[in-house]
Structures are given as structure tokens and as C-alpha cells.
Amino acid sequence: MEKIKLEIAGLSYSQTQSGAYALVLAETKGKRRLPIIIGGFEAQAIAIELEKMTPSRPLTHDLFKNFAEEYNINISEVIIYNLVEGIFFAKLICEQDGTEIEIDSRTSDAIALAVRFECPIYTYEFVLSSAGIILDDEETEESELVEEELNVDDFPQESDDVERLTLEDLEQKLKDSIDNEDYESASKIRDEIKRRSGN
């Protein structure tokens, strides 16, 4: 089956799901776009690498890359190989000592690793024809909206950053996290408030 090469066209807030982001992939030789809804932390991991920022401590995907490099494992390509009931399926094509291994992955994690290993991203025609959208030249305004740049500060922050906030800011962030149903962040913020209160 012939593979179609994709590149990251943009990252934007999801209009349909609270706390989620739309990752837009574009075919390199065509006008079709493949929008994929991903979580905030995966979006942050992709944005940080695209902007060539270095976090104070390695994120999960950085840790994976460091681990892989220590054992001479390289990711040569990422393939989004299927779409079932709105869920994309991806795999990592890895190489170690001349041996090729395929590893199943969530698409968002696969893309976050692809930008770190600087490897190509592919899909198949049936996936692109099922879920792709075509942008005409007249739709450049919509295209620019989809591809607007996101500031890394817009993403959920790691717990280390919570320690730098004032108690008032923490209370507001806790309320925002609960409103956005981001319970993982809410629990971290709650723990920090309790720690400061001595409870």
C-alpha cells in the first residue's frame, strides 16, 4: 500500500472538546488536511519541541528519546495506519542494530516522538480520504485560523510551575481546572494549596 507523507500544519484549540486541541497534518503533495483531536499534555509536548524549547526536566517523550538513544534505537518513521470509529491508530517503525520493529502507539504520542526523532510521518489513502478535509485557495482565512500558533503558556503546566504561583493564583487555577474538567491538574493544585496551608 502506497504511503502518503504528512507534515504538521498547525495546532489549535478544539472547538468541539473542552481541554482538547486539534493537531492538523497536511499532505506534502496536495491540499488535504487531517485534523486529529489530542489532549492538552500531548499538544504541549508537540508544541515545546516545535518551538525548540528545553523544559527544566525531561518530559515523558524526551525521556523515551533519551532511553532509546542509550540503547541505539531509532524511530525511522511514524505511520497512521488505520481509522476505526473516529479513532486513529498509529505505529512507530523502529530500528536497532539493523533490525526493524513496529510498535503500536497512540497517534498523539507517535507525533510527539516523530518531531523529536525528526522522522517522517505517513498515512494511507483510505485514511486520508475518510477523515481528510480539502482546503481550497478561497479558504485561506479558515486555514490561518486552524494553523494559528499557540503559546506554550496556554497549555497545562507541570506541577513544578505550580510552586511559583501565589495562593490567590492557585485558587483561581483550581477553579479553572475544575470548570474545564481537568481533574489531574486540579488534584496537583489542590495538593499544593494543602501543602502551603499545612493541612
Instruction: Provide the mean pLDDT of the chain.
Output: 82
User: Is 98 found in the same domain as 39?
Assistant: yes
Comparing 65-69, 117-121, 156-160, 182-186, the range with the smallest average pLDDT is: 156-160
Average pLDDT over residues 89-98: 96
Question: In whole angstroms, what is the distance from residue 133 CA to residue 34 CA?
Answer: 6
User: Is 165 found in the same domain as 138?
Assistant: no
Average pLDDT over residues 133-144: 54
pLDDT band at residue 52 using 50, 70 and 90 as cut-offs: confident
User: Is 48 found in the same domain as 64?
Assistant: yes
User: Is 172 found in the same domain as 143?
Assistant: no
Tell me how many domains the chain contains. 2
Three-class DSSP category at 34: strand
Percent pLDDT > 70 in the chain is: 79
Find the domain containing 105 and state its range.
3-154
User: Is 90 found in the same domain as 20?
Assistant: yes
User: Is 187 found in the same domain as 138?
Assistant: no
The pLDDT of residue 155 is 46
Q: Which residue has the higher pLDDT, 187 or 93?
A: 93
- Cell triple for 87: 479513532
pLDDT exceeds 70 at position 11: yes
Three-class DSSP category at 57: coil
Task: Say which CATH number the domain at 117 has.
Answer: 3.10.690.10
What is the value of pTM for the model shown? Answer: 0.69
